Amino acid sequence: MSPYFITILIVFLAIGTLQAGVVRRVASPSSTSPSPASSSSNELRTDAEQKAKVLVERCEKHYQEAKAKQAHAAWAYASNITEPNLMQKVKAATEFAAVAKFVAQDLRHHDYRTFRDEDLKRRFKELTKLDYAALPENQFKELFAAVSSMESNYAKVKICSYKDKTNCHLTLDPELTEIFATSQDPEELEYYWVKWHDKAGKPSKASFQKYVELNKESAKLNGFNNGADVWLAEYDDPTFEQQVQDVITKIRPLYEQIHAYVRFKLREKYGSNVVSAKGPIPIHLLGNMWGQTWDNIVNFTTPFPEKKLLDVTEEMVKQGYTPIKMFQMGDDFFQSLNMTKLPQTFWDKSILEKPTDGRDLVCHASAWDFFATDDVRIKQCTRVNMREFFVVHHELGHIQYYLQYQHQPIEYRSGANPGFHEAVGDVLSLSVSTPKHLKRVGLLNDYEEDEQVKINQFYQSGVTKLVFLPFAYTMDKYRWSIFRGEIKPGEYNCRFWQLRNQFSGVEPPVVRTEQDFDPPAKYHVSADVEYLRYFVSYVIQFQFHKAACKLAGEYVPGDPEKTLNNCDIYQSTEAGNKLKEMLSLGGSKPWPDAMEILTGERKMNADAILEYFKPLYDWLSQENKRLGAHVGWTESDKCITSKFDFMHGRK
């Protein structure tokens, strides 16, 4: 018998023994029980719930051990992509799926919906979720193999240099990312965009389709209609999809103003033969492979170029900053809020720079919880620049969240909703990115602020934060539509670009067809990572920021000196203590309860983000009129559904 099946058998027998022991204690004539005269349905219910609590606590131990083992195997593979590590990752994931299934089945013998203890009810609800573990073992392995295949393909892509075709070792991070951030040659950018999407997207088409089929099967086994409903259920609010759509609707006027202005500036730089006056923006010109943020083109699109741009990269290099120093600065920020210092194990076990030993690894920055006391890590191929300085704070936000809720039972060791995790670090980034804070830490010298400088700052933040929202919405709107059967396999690529056009006003640099398959060229699609969490985080972080700034005395409505967009909560223990209180709940309460602790609000809304960017909206509205820049965009004609249509010029 294989070690895998021995492990599963041991777990099965252990859980079965636990359940049998509880049953024996319930039925034992020697057990203490109230006399018939004093017994009541309430007492019986309390007794049953107490026994259920004992059972759930014992089951949690096996669940936690298997989850920790899965995390270790996933880390080993992500930090060193080899076939043996992949086999260990699959094995650990399969074992965890089996344990999760046994735990869920065991706990389902109790009708937790009748429990009066709301916490116990919630614990049962969380532990009886099976997700992909609901699949039969062979299908689970097929699904895992499909996702691993996409992720591995994404991680291993290497591109030949545009200028030196003998050099075919360029990877997404850092080489291609750096090229998109710095190159202003549209032909070079188009070359790399096409090569990346051809290699990172198209080969994953068959695996993606297998993933879609098994995702649907898993959803049904879990009692959902489709995978979209599974993802949205994590937000525990039947109105949440509508809340998301309301945000998109409310920010649209501001987004259109930014889009119009940027398109005008790109047209000035690259000419009318590259950028049209009223059409979508060619995505490869936006300084990012996916056009998800546009901050890398601020050097020639900024409203007042004669004013010094906020960029401390040069100063960081001058002062000898290293990746370790950047993480130490992030740790100091959290400690200044009276939050938790990073444990030594973090420094001992994290990967904070790209290894030089030639191994393949997933360089995408990520924070990891290993479900043991103080075992938290980050894997990031960190480079010394201002953008990554902010990314460091973002990833440390995840780590801080892990540390604040590590006392919770295993099923509560998660964010209040998926977006909470992403928002925490960005709350710090909103403070860290202010001139006020950068001056405080000695990174910004000889920087004088006036109204034009402030508009530049708002613009730089807008093309980072605000323009991200339609992109983030599209990534899951697209997959929701596939999961719901609204987008069919024969239209996967063109419907993707249709949505990118509809919500972001962008298009590919060359004509794409259904022979191409571009969505998996984004990591989160290849890795089966729900993306709405990032959308949610970019909205609620402003709600968190507004509340924290009030607590820190840094934001006073109506005071021009204490505005929402000039707030630094560094060293505010008042703000930090409230953040800690919210974070320490983990997933133990519905997310509106957690949000209410800090903000006093129970819904996600766009009010705070629109207040933050109001000066930019007012300026752009006037400037676009002055320039005669068209606001809005036409439909794209850059995706054709079939070779026949392509050959006959049909669109």
Identify whether the C-beta of residue 50 lies closer than 8 Å to the C-beta of residue 347: no
Give the angle 525-531-532 at the CA atoms, nearest 5°: 150
Helix (H) or strand (E) segment spanning residue 439: helix 435-440
Amino acid at 255: Y
The active-site residue out of 49, 95, 395, 411 is 395
All residues at 6 or more sequence positions from 390 whose CB lies less than 8 Å from its CB, including other chains: 429, 432, 433
Question: What is the separation, in whole angstroms, between the first and last Cα of the chain?
Answer: 59
426 within 8 A of 537, measured Cβ to Cβ: yes
Q: How far apart are CA 458 and CA 364, in angstroms?
A: 27
Integer Cα distance of 606 and 613 in angstroms: 11
As a whole number of angstroms, the distance between CA 39 and CA 33 comes to 8
Tracing tokens 């009129």 back to the chain, one arrives at: 625
DSSP string, 554-591: ---TT-TTS-GGG---TT-HHHHHHHHHHHTTTTSS-H
Contact 503, 510 (CB under 8 A): no
DSSP result, 5-54: HHHHHHHHHHHHHHHHHHHHHHH-TTS----TTT--HHHHHHHHHHHHHH
Please state whether the peptide bond connecting residue 305 to the residue before it is cis, i.e. omega within 30 degrees of 0: no
Look-up: residue for tokens 């960029």?
311
Is the separation of the CB atoms in 196 and 176 below 8 Å?
yes
Task: Using alpha carbons, select from 438, 486, 420 the residue that is nearest to residue 309.
Answer: 438
**Furthest C-alpha separation in the chain:** 91
> Is the distance from CB of 251 to CB of 604 less than 8 angstroms?
no
Look up 268 and say whether it is catalytic.
Answer: no
Main-chain dihedrals φ then ψ at residue 367, nearest 5 degrees? -110, 145
Closest CA to 165 of 191, 126, 146: 191
Please tell me the distance from the alpha carbon of residue 153 to that of residue 208, in angstroms, as a whole number.
Answer: 12
Using an 8 Å Cβ cutoff, are 364 and 358 in contact?
A: no
- Paired residues of 605 in beta bridges: none
SS3 at position 105: helix
Amino acid, single-letter form, for residue 234: E
**Token pair for residue 287?**
């300084």
The CA distance from 297 to 275, in Å, is 15
Q: Give dist(CA 100, CA 134) in Å, integer.
A: 9
What radius of gyration, in Å, describes the C-alpha atoms of the chain? 26
62 is catalytic: no
Contact status, residue 461 vs residue 542, Cβ threshold 8 Å: no
Dist CA 279 CA 647 (whole Å): 24
Of 197, 398, 524, 545, the active-site residue reads 524
Q: What 8-state DSSP symbol labels residue 354? A: -
Q: How far apart are CA 460 and CA 301, in angstroms?
A: 10
Residues involved in catalysis? 395, 524
